Structure 1
Amino acid sequence: YGALKSCDGYIQFAMLTGVTKFGKVSVFSDLNNLMDISMINRFSEICGITEEELHRYFDDDIHTLAEKLGTGYEETCARLKLNYDGYHFSFKSPGMYNPFSLLNTFANMQIDNYWFATGTPTYLVELMKQHNYNVEEIEDIVTSGPVLDSIDSASTDPVPVIYQSGYLTIKGYNEEFENYTLGFPNREVEQGFFRFLLPNYASVSVTKSPYEIQRFVEEVRKGDVDSFLSRLQTFFDDIPYELAPRDREVHYQNILYIVFKLMGFHAEVEYHTSRGRVDLVLKTSDYIYVMEFKLDGTAEEAMAQIDAKGYASAFAADGRKVVKVGVNFSSETRTIDRWIIA
């Protein structure tokens, strides 16, 4: 930065790009006269491909892809949008497609998770674990522009890093309070992010986790809760001490949330009812699982809380079968100690 500023008499135009932006003042105060265009509306279409551009330049590719996949044109467009669209670089920005993922899709004639293979957010994950960040909060973050716009080498807040790295994008804007609502831009990013998180939080290898998730789905769909919890128990077994931080309850909740997100079911942590908050509600096409967790308590206490507060009654009008699950974690063994199903 200092070298650039000393040569500004010879530079007519320069554009700096990167992943995360470290403050141009403080640490790099040598170059403090930059124009930051990251969140300016008129530049919001520079990076990415708009819906109009997709159909103007790649319509033949979409038709070919639809033929290869055996799907109709409209369905193929919907799948491309679900997986690769959704980036917003300002609150008035149109949705932008990821060009890297689109080009790879058309080159291979296959919809897949391409972008996540370009890099892994190791620093980000370590930052989240270091500060016991609640993973479920990542999907509905509300923050201000200055927070998104700033980061320095000593930053301990993972939100600007997550946003500037492209794992979150702008989903909404409150003009009165000048606050931004953030969320995952698309399915490719969401699935890739949680897939990377799981081996970093739980005792499961990268190669084995996809198979384990498949088995989880099969067991939960058919209501085999005992098998599901037994398998889940192995995710907590032998977790290294450094992976089980001082706030173990948050750590256990994070693992559960990541697993359920990867399973593709509708999971809600701290589900609010008129009688209180359920630790976790998991919904499938046939079942609603009402789950309460205790740390160094008993499974009986967890089940008693479900009954005493009438958590299950909130779903009495639902046609699906309601299954109550009380689970106790042990900080000594760092795994699931016991569970009760009713």
Structure 2
Amino acid sequence: MEKIMQQALPLGTSDFRSLRINNEIYVDKTDLVFRLAQHRGKIFLARPRRFGKSLLVSTFESLFKNGLTHFQGLAIENKWEDKTYAVARLDFSSLKTFKSLEQFQTAFHSLLLSAFIPLGFKFNSDNKDLLFIDQLKMWLSSLPASSIVLLIDEYDAPLTNHLDDPEVFNTIRDCLGEFYTAVKQYEGCLRFFFMTGITKFSNTSIFSAFNNLQDISLDVQFGSLLGYTEEEISHCFSSYLDSAAHELKLSKEKLLELLREQYDGFSFDRQARTHVYCPWSVLNFFAKPSEGFQNYWYTSGGQPTVLMKYLTSHALKSPTVYDEPVLVSLSDLGASRQYDEISIEALLTQAGYLTIKEQVGGDYVRLGYPNEEVSRSMAQLYASELLRGQNLVQSGVPILAKILTSETPETVVDYFNRALTSIDYVRYPVDSEAACRAYLQVLLIGAALVPRVEVHNAFGRSDMEVEVNGRHWVFEFKYARSSNETDRLLKEAIVQVQSNHYGKTTDNKELIRVALVFSAEQRRFVAWESV
């Protein structure tokens, strides 16, 4: 009966009006919406996929078009006193795929017509002397001051889909640039302009056309504009928290702790004052809590086109720095840059893989993974890069969990060798003990496991440990640059494991400790022993 009385989850709902009419849960962001909408502004917001950008655009659309009709009981209700406006909403994600440039231009013009004809624009296709864009300019110039609202969602979608084809990219950019320039030229007719995207590329022309565009992507006061704070989850999803805790046989406090570790930690303000949960992951968890804390990020939001296209011609940094924090300047994160000039750190932050952990000095921030889900997603991305051209199944990576659960150390070492052999050795050479450990760590995380590296106890620190079902594995790695070092290094590893009592604090699990030696000459583990 309790579930019947619950408000429905807004999973997959990006239309504000529909969400409110159907009594789905709305996490009230209208105090911040009011703060933006009360002024005659031109605003840009960058956020990763699956954070609710489209719902936010739809919220502005409903507010300006219908006033407070669908805002009863929300924070803005007693603040908003403005009239209604003609609203043009453009979703550029509909322009991602086309067979020819002519088809793109036709689709783009069709999108503009569908948005502007209801506002009074009349295009005369028989007038061959006036181009489409010129007719649009004439209409814009005729509009009263501050009379229309223009909302653009996913402005960068048509471009990022063609980053690997400069000719097509430039043609699309020029086509879009004509439109942006027209709007800029007659911007006096705009009451409000709001645009979203993932990236901020200078060669899209939007940022040069709108030189007075306010970028709030790193603004401290709007850090929680998208995403759920923990307070919002506790307040708006209380019954779902209770249901999930009951289903998983956890206390509500423990459930929140696990939710925090898995899906929280995104910080979008330059001072890292606020952090939010990924809405998509939280909603999917509440929809099916019996399935546990799944990785909803990688398959739905963690492979944005812009990042995957970038990686076809750029390499990730070595997995040896997988766990290391990254220091970057805020100017690098916030600046609009040419596509081929953007840093991998800035792009990973825009895509949601990295987030701001803390401000360091005036213009620098430390970046890191926001949570366990994204950390695993990053490992999957690294695994795909490490094994580029190889099939993960053929490499044995996805079944490592099964192997570690029931097989012998010999079989595990064999699978490690198969995985390491599959790595693109030219781009990612195993040239040190740290590289060997880091690559296996990434491959294990890519197999949905949670390895820990440099695990400390009172006597020392082991190289890598991982728990799988009822087993606790401890691995100690050594790197032999020549074959005559192998026996000595294996003995050193065995003594190190034994004398430092690695893994001995584990309770109620089968402890399996393995010393391994990797050969630089043979590019594989050539000696190992259970300890």
Task: Place the TM-score, normalised by the shorter chain, in its bin.
Answer: 0.7 to 0.9
The C-alpha deviation readout for 1:108-161, integer Å capped at 9, x for no partner, is: 334422232214257646639844611242431122212222343113631111
The C-alpha deviation readout for 1:271-309, integer Å capped at 9, x for no partner, is: 9xxxxxx9x911357665331234xx435435646878x
Give the structure 2 partner of residue 103 of structure 1: 283
Which residue identity is paired with 2:370? Answer: P
More moved, 157-166 vs 255-264 = 255-264
Q: Distance in 2 between matches of 1:148 and 1:56?
A: 33
Give the structure 2 partner of residue 248 of structure 1: 429
Alignment check: 8 A CA contact 2:318 2:428 kept: no
Q: Distance in 1 between matches of 2:445 and 2:353?
A: 16
For normalisation by structure 2, the TM-score amounts to: 0.52
Q: 1:68/1:238 Cα in 2 relative to 1: closer, same or farther (>3 Å)?
A: closer
Alignment check: 8 A CA contact 1:329 1:338 kept: no
The C-alpha deviation readout for 1:37-87, integer Å capped at 9, x for no partner, is: 111100111011111111111101111111222222222222221211111
Which residue identity is paired with 2:228? Answer: I
Equivalences for residues 1-342 of structure 1 within 5 A: 2=177, 3-7=179-183, 8-23=187-202, 29-90=208-269, 91-110=271-290, 111-119=293-301, 120-121=303-304, 124=307, 127=311, 130-131=314-315, 133-139=317-323, 140-150=325-335, 151-155=337-341, 157-175=343-361, 178-202=363-387, 203-205=390-392, 209-216=397-404, 224-237=408-421, 243-249=424-430, 255-262=439-446, 263-268=449-454, 281-283=463-465, 288-294=474-480, 297-301=481-485, 304=488, 316-318=499-501, 320=503, 324-330=515-521, 335-336=523-524, 338-341=526-529
Helix, strand or coil for the counterpart of 2:188?
Answer: coil
Q: 1:20/1:330 Cα in 2 relative to 1: closer, same or farther (>3 Å)?
A: farther
Alignment check: 8 A CA contact 2:386 2:428 kept: no
Alignment check: 8 A CA contact 2:413 2:525 kept: no
Which residue identity is paired with 2:410? Answer: D
Helix, strand or coil for the counterpart of 1:15?
Answer: strand
Helix, strand or coil for the counterpart of 1:282?
Answer: strand
Q: How large is the RMSD of aligned CA atoms in angstroms?
A: 3.7
Q: 1:122/1:36 Cα in 2 relative to 1: closer, same or farther (>3 Å)?
A: closer
Question: Structure 1 residue 330: deviation in Å?
Answer: 4.7
Helix, strand or coil for the counterpart of 2:475?
Answer: strand
Question: Structure 1 residue 215: deviation in Å?
Answer: 1.7
Alignment check: 8 A CA contact 1:293 1:326 kept: yes
**Which structure 2 residue ranges, 5 or more long, are not aligned?**
1-175, 505-512
More moved, 314-323 vs 133-142 = 314-323
Question: Structure 1 residue 33: deviation in Å?
Answer: 2.2
Task: Work out the number of aligned pairs and report it.
Answer: 320
Which residue identity is paired with 1:165? Answer: A
Q: Distance in 2 between matches of 1:132 and 1:45?
A: 29
Q: 1:298/1:73 Cα in 2 relative to 1: closer, same or farther (>3 Å)?
A: same
Q: Distance in 2 between matches of 1:77 and 1:247?
A: 39
Which residue identity is paired with 2:429? Answer: R
Q: 1:337/1:51 Cα in 2 relative to 1: closer, same or farther (>3 Å)?
A: closer
For normalisation by structure 1, the TM-score amounts to: 0.77
Alignment check: 8 A CA contact 1:127 1:158 kept: no
Q: 1:135/1:50 Cα in 2 relative to 1: closer, same or farther (>3 Å)?
A: same
Q: 1:305/1:156 Cα in 2 relative to 1: closer, same or farther (>3 Å)?
A: farther
Q: Distance in 1 between matches of 2:442 and 2:415?
A: 15
Q: 1:129/1:234 Cα in 2 relative to 1: closer, same or farther (>3 Å)?
A: farther
Pair member with larger Rg:
2
More moved, 82-91 vs 224-233 = 224-233
Which residue identity is paired with 1:6? Answer: A
Q: Distance in 2 between matches of 1:315 and 1:159?
A: 40
Q: 1:157/1:307 Cα in 2 relative to 1: closer, same or farther (>3 Å)?
A: farther
Q: Distance in 1 between matches of 2:497 and 2:313?
A: 33
Identity %: 23
More moved, 97-106 vs 157-166 = 97-106
Alignment check: 8 A CA contact 1:299 1:326 kept: no
**Which structure 1 residue ranges, 5 or more long, are not aligned?**
272-277
Q: Distance in 1 between matches of 2:298 and 2:233?
A: 21
Q: Distance in 1 between matches of 2:318 and 2:217?
A: 27
Q: 1:288/1:116 Cα in 2 relative to 1: closer, same or farther (>3 Å)?
A: closer
